[in-house]
Amino acid sequence: MKKANLPLSGIFTAAMLFLLVILPFTKNGFSQTEKPALKTEIYKLDNGLTIYLNEDPSLPNIFGAVVVKGGSKRDPSEATGIAHYFEHIMFKGTDQIGTLDFATEKVYLDSIAALYDELADASEEADKLNMQREINRLSIKAAEYAIPNEIEKILGEMGCAYLNAGTGNDGIAYFNVLPANQVEKWLEIYSHRFINPVYRLFQSELETVYEEYNMYSDNRFATAFEEFTAAFYPDHPYGVPILGYPNHLKYPSMKKMHEYFETYYVANNMALVLSGNFDTDAIKPLISNYFGRWKSGKIPEKPSAWKIEPFEGRQFVEQKLTPVKFGIRAYRSVPQNSKESVVLNIVNALMSNESQTGLLDELVMNNKLMMAQMISDRRTDAGGEYILFVPKVVGQSLKKAEDLIGNKLNDLKAGNFDESLLEAIKTEIIVNYQRNFEDQFNRGYMMITTFMTESEWEDMIDYPNKVKQITKADVLAAANNWFGENYLAFHSKTGLPKKPQQLKPPFENIPAKNTGEKSAYAKMIEEMEVPLSVPQFIEFGSPQQKTKDVTVTDITSLTHLFHVENKVNDLFDISIDYGIGTYEMPILNQVAEYMYLVGPEGLSFGEFKKELQSLGGSLSFYASKNDFTVEISGPKENTKQILDLAAKLLDKPDIDQEKIKNLYESAKTSDKINKKDPETLGYALYSFAVFGDNSQFLKDLTAKEIKSLQASQLTDALKTAMTFETAIHYSGTHAAEDVASILADHLNFKQIKQKSKSPVRNVYRDFSEPMVFFLDDKNAIQSKDYFFIKGDKVTESDKPLLNAYYEYLDGGMSSVMFQEIREFRSLAYATGASVYEPFYPDEETTLTSFVGTQADKTQEAIQVMHQIITNPPDQSDRIDMLRRALVQSINSKKPPFRQISYPVAQWTKQGYNSDPRKEWVKKYDSMSFEDIVNFHKNQFYQQPVITTIIGNKKRIGIEWMNDFGKVTEVRMQDIFR
C-alpha cells in the first residue's frame, strides 16, 4: 500500500514518543565515536534558550525540534490534560498564521475563552449545556475568519515532512524534517509560532482529544498500564494519565491553559534541536535573530505535595483488565540522569536482553512462562524498574508466575551468572549505543531526551567507558540495593475494565471554510528567498560507479546484493530476503518464531546466543506476507565470526520438539488477545471482506495445528524458503566486492534455484455492488471502519498522478481527509488512507481508507468518508501546494542509509535502472488539477465501495447501514481460523 513514509504519524501522546525515545536509551545506552557527523555543539542564548546543533553535511535534510520542559506533570491537579490539550492548540496558528482578520476573529475567541472558563467552574448540567451551545454558536462565527491548519500548509509547501508533536510526563516536543535549503524559513516559522499562539478552532480539537481518549480506552493493555502507573505513583503527577481525567477533558479551562503557556513556554525552559545538513557558524546568527526574541520567565519550584514514598513490603494490587493474565513486579529506582543508571541498565540486561541470554529469558525459552521482560522507566524526578510477566494460558496462576520471577531475582542477587555473560552484555549495550546515533532522527530524539530529563550530553557521550568499567561486584551491589523486599506487585486477571465515560458534547459541526486562503504571513514566507536546491534522488548502479548511494551486484542470477556504505560507524547490517512469504507458506510464521528458540546442532541455545552476544552480533528472523527474512548485524571486526555462527544455525538448526510447546502457548495467547482487540478485529474483518479465503487471518495456522507440528517440519520449511531468489541488503564499511566474497564463503547460494514469488499478487474478491460487512463487538467503545475500492491497472504515466491523488487525499494535516474527518467534524482522532501502487503492470490499484470513531458517530463518519472517496477531488486551489509538496519533500523524506537500499531493490525488480521519481517530477511540474480529477474518475469513480464496521451493535445500530450497501453480519469464526 502507498503510505506516508513516516517514522511517526499523527499528533501523538508521550506514551508513543517515549517508547521511541527513552526506553531504547535506558535499556541499550549509547556509544562514543570520533565520526564528524556526531559532533554536537550545545550553548545558550542570552534569553536562556538551550541550543543543540549536530551538523552532518552528508544529508539533504535537517531534523528540527522545539522542546519544552514540564509536560503533563505540571498540569494543575484540578485541570489535568492541559499540557496535552495545548500541544494540539499549537497547530492552530498565531495572531498572524491561520487568520484572515485577527482583530475581528479575536472578539469571538475572547468570548469563547471566557465561556470555557465559566463552563469549567459550572455545577448545574443545564447551565453547562447552555454554555456549550453558546460556545458552539460563537465557534461557528469565529471559523469564518480562520484558515485551518495553515502551519502545516506552509511547512508542507516548503517540503517539510513528518510534522508531529508529543506530550510526555516531563516535556513536550514539536518536530519535523525539512529540506536543508529551507532552514531559515523554518527558523522564522518555529520561532514565531511560540510567541503568540491562538486558541482557534478549539471546539474541533476538544472533540478530537475525546476520540483520542476513546481510542486508548479500547486498548485493554493501555488501560491496565494506566492503572498500574496510578498505583506506582499514587502521590505524584506521574500517576495521572497524560490525556487527563475524563471530567477535566470535558470542561477544560482556557485560562489555566494560557497560564501553563505563559509559565512554561519560556526561553529558559525550552530548547532548539537541529541535526542535519547546515553550517554551524552560518546558522548561529540566524538562531539568535529569530529565537532571541523569545522572553524568559521564572520557572516554579516543584510542589512540595509531590511525593514518591518507598513501598513497605510487597504492596499488592489486583484487577480484572486484560484478555490474558499479566503481571508487573515494580521496584523504585533512580531518575534518568542518575549515575546509577549505567549499572542498573546492565543489571536489567542480565535479567532480559535482545539476545535472550538473561535469567528471565531462560524462563521463556524453557517454556516456564509465556513472557517475562525487564523494563526501565526512568524519568526526570524518579524511576522504576519493572518486570512484566505473562503466565502460561492454562494451568499457571499469576502468583506461581511471580514466584518464578522472584527466584530469578534471587539468582541475580546471589551472583548465579557467569562472568562471560556480563562481558557479553556489556558488548551488546555498547554496540546498541552506536546505533542510536546513526541518523538525524535518532540523534535528534537523543537531544530531546537529554534536555527533557535534565541529563548531561557529556555523560551520554562517555557512556561506553562507564559501561566498560562496571564489574560483577558493582552489579551485585546494585541488584541487592534496588531489588529488595519492598515493591509493587500488580496483577491483572482476565476481564474487562469498567467502560469509560463517554465524551461527546452537544456541538454542531463547524463548516469547512477558507481552506484555499492564505494569510499575509503565509504570503510573506512564500516570498522569502531560499538557496537553490535540486531533489537528491537515490542513485544506484554497479560497484564501479563509486558515487552511488546504492551499488547493485548479482552474486548469482538469483542472488542480488544491494550495498550501502556506512559512513557513521563500523557496524554492519545484512538483511537476507528470501522471495517467499507466509501467503504461500503460512508455516513460515512458526519457522521464524522457532529459530529464535534454538541453536545449531551440537551447540546449545544458551551457548550459541552467548557466543554471538560476546561478538556484539545479533541474528533475527521475520516472516511477512511476501518474504522470509534473516537479519545479521555486528561490528566489522567480527564479521566473519558472526557469519560463521549464523551459517551454522541456518545450515543445521537443532530439531527440538520441546519448542513446539512454546509455539503452541504463544499461539493460544495471541488468539485470546486478538479476539478481544478492536484494532485487530477491524483489520481481520477488512481482510475477510476484501480477500475472502485469501485473508492472511484465514491462512495462518491454528493453535491446534501448531500443537501437532513436528520440529522437523519447521526446519524443512526453512530449507525450502532458502531455495528462493534472494535480495541481500548490506550496509557497512566493507567494499561491495569483499561483501560478495565473504557472503559466498558462508552462505550456500547454490541451493537458490527458484524464482521469487515476492511480492504476492493481490487477489481480491469480485464485487458488482456496494457491500457492508458488520461484526458486533459488545465491548468496543469505538467502531473501527474500513473502506475499499478496487481500481484498474496503472500505467507508468499514471504513477505520479497516483502519488498526487494520495497527497491530496491524506498527505498530512492539510489533506482533505484530515480536514473533513478530523478538523471540521471532529469525528475521529485516527483516520487515514492508502493508495496501492501496483508492483506488476497487469495488477490493479486500490483505495483503502480508515476511521476509528465513537460508536454514536459511526453513521456520520461513514457518510463523510463515502463522500470523500467516491466524489472526484474538488478543491482545485490545492494544486500549487500539491506540486511543491511532492517535489520539495523528496529531500526531507530521503531514507536513512540503513533503509535506502530497499526501494532500490523494488525498482530494479520492476525494471527501472534509475530512480523513477526523476521522471515523476517532470509530471508534477506540469500536471493540472484536472489530471488528478481524471485519475480518480478513471480508477475509483462509481466503483462499488466495500465498507467494514466492527463495534457495539446496540450503540451503533444497523438499519442505516443499508444506505451504503448490502449488509452482511459476520461472526468471529468467519474471520479467524
pLDDT of residue 415 exceeding 60: yes
Q: Half-sphere exposure (CA, 13 Å, Cβ side) for 579? A: 21
98 contacts 200 by C-beta, under 8 angstroms? yes
CA distance 565 to 572: 9
Radius of gyration (C-alpha) of the chain in whole angstroms: 28
Q: What average pLDDT does range 314-329 have in this prediction?
A: 95
Strand blocks (E) in 405-505? 487-494
Rounded to 5 degrees, φ, ψ at 69 are -80, 140
Q: Is the dihedral of CA 148, 154, 159, 164 positive or negative?
A: negative
CA distance 164 to 622: 29
Cα 71 to Cα 68, 87, 249, 460, 466: the distances in Å are: 7, 10, 16, 23, 30
CA distance 6 to 504: 30
Q: What average pLDDT does range 149-166 have in this prediction?
A: 92
Grid cell at residue 583: 501467503
pLDDT tens for 746-783 read 999 989 999 999 999 999 999 999 999 999 999 888 99
pLDDT of residue 357 exceeding 50: yes
pLDDT at 213: 80
Cα 487 to Cα 329, 358, 401, 653, 711: the distances in Å are: 7, 21, 16, 41, 41
Percent of residues, the chain, with pLDDT higher than 70? 95
End-to-end CA distance of the chain: 25
**Residue written as grid cell 503568540:** 196
Instruction: Bin 365: left if φ > 0, else alpha if -120 < ψ < 50, else beta.
Output: alpha
Average predicted confidence (pLDDT) for the chain: 91
Q: What average pLDDT does range 262-268 have in this prediction?
A: 97
375 contacts 384 by C-beta, under 8 angstroms? no
pLDDT of residue 12 exceeding 60: no
pLDDT tens for 826-862 read 788 889 999 999 999 999 999 999 999 988 889 999 9
Query: Bridge-partner residues for 784, per DSSP?
Result: 852, 950
pLDDT of residue 188 exceeding 90: yes
pLDDT of residue 245 exceeding 70: yes
* Strand ranges across the sheet with 487-494: 314-322, 487-494, 326-332, 383-390, 371-378
C-alpha triplet 639, 643, 644: angle, nearest 5°: 115
CA distance 271 to 264: 12
CA distance 888 to 801: 16
CA distance 281 to 299: 31
Which helix or strand (DSSP H or E) is residue 296 part of? none
DSSP secondary structure of 19-33: HHHHHHHHHH-----
CA distance 922 to 890: 13
b/e sequence 396-422, b meaning 16+ C-beta within 10 Å: bebeebbebbbebbebbbeeebeeebb
Cα 747 to Cα 553, 578, 722, 802: the distances in Å are: 16, 13, 10, 40
pLDDT at 500: 67
For the whole prediction, is pTM greater than 0.85? yes
Rounded to 5 degrees, φ, ψ at 578 are -85, 135
pLDDT at 38: 66
Q: What average pLDDT does range 199-219 have in this prediction?
A: 81
Grid cell at residue 64: 528540527
pLDDT at 512: 74
State whether residue 784 is helix, strand or coil.
strand
Between strands 161-167 and 171-179, the pairing is antiparallel
Helix 472-482 × helix 419-435 angle, to 10°: 80
- One-letter identity of residue 834: S
CA distance 562 to 739: 10
Q: Which residues fall within 8 angstroms of residue 409, CB to CB, at 6 or more apart?
A: 351, 387, 479, 483
pLDDT tens for 701-722 read 999 999 999 999 999 999 999 9
Most confident listed range (467-476, 547-556, 671-680, 881-890): 467-476
pLDDT at 502: 62
pLDDT tens for 902-934 read 999 999 999 999 999 999 999 998 999 999 999
CA distance 682 to 784: 5
List the one residue out of 729, 756, 734 whose CA is nearest residue 550. Answer: 729
Cα 381 to Cα 445, 470, 855: the distances in Å are: 20, 25, 39
**Residue written as grid cell 530524539:** 445
List the one residue out of 828, 631, 961 whose CA is nearest residue 209. Answer: 828
Of the pLDDT bands very low, low, confident and very high (cuts 50, 70, 90), residue 4 is very low
pLDDT of residue 672 exceeding 70: yes
List the one residue out of 98, 60, 158, 152 whose CA is nearest residue 880. Answer: 158
DSSP secondary structure of 853-865: EEGGGHHHHHHHH
pLDDT at 876: 80
- One-letter identity of residue 318: E
CA distance 782 to 16: 20
pLDDT tens for 605-653 read 999 999 999 999 999 999 999 999 999 999 999 999 999 999 999 999 9
Of the pLDDT bands very low, low, confident and very high (cuts 50, 70, 90), residue 209 is confident
Please tell me the total number of residues recorded for the chain in this structure. Answer: 977
Rounded to 5 degrees, φ, ψ at 504 are -155, 105
pLDDT at 220: 83
State whether residue 559 is helix, strand or coil.
strand
Grid cell at residue 507: 456541538
pLDDT of residue 482 exceeding 90: yes
569 contacts 33 by C-beta, under 8 angstroms? yes
C-alpha triplet 269, 271, 274: angle, nearest 5°: 175
Which helix or strand (DSSP H or E) is residue 762 part of? none
pLDDT of residue 17 exceeding 50: no
Most confident listed range (3-17, 138-152, 344-358): 344-358
pLDDT of residue 5 exceeding 50: no
Q: Which residues fall within 8 angstroms of residue 319, CB to CB, at 6 or more apart?
A: 224, 227, 491, 492, 493, 495, 497
Neighbours of 36 (CB within 10 A): 12
Indicate the burial class of 623 (C-beta count within 10 angstroms; 0-12, 13-18, 19 or more). Answer: buried
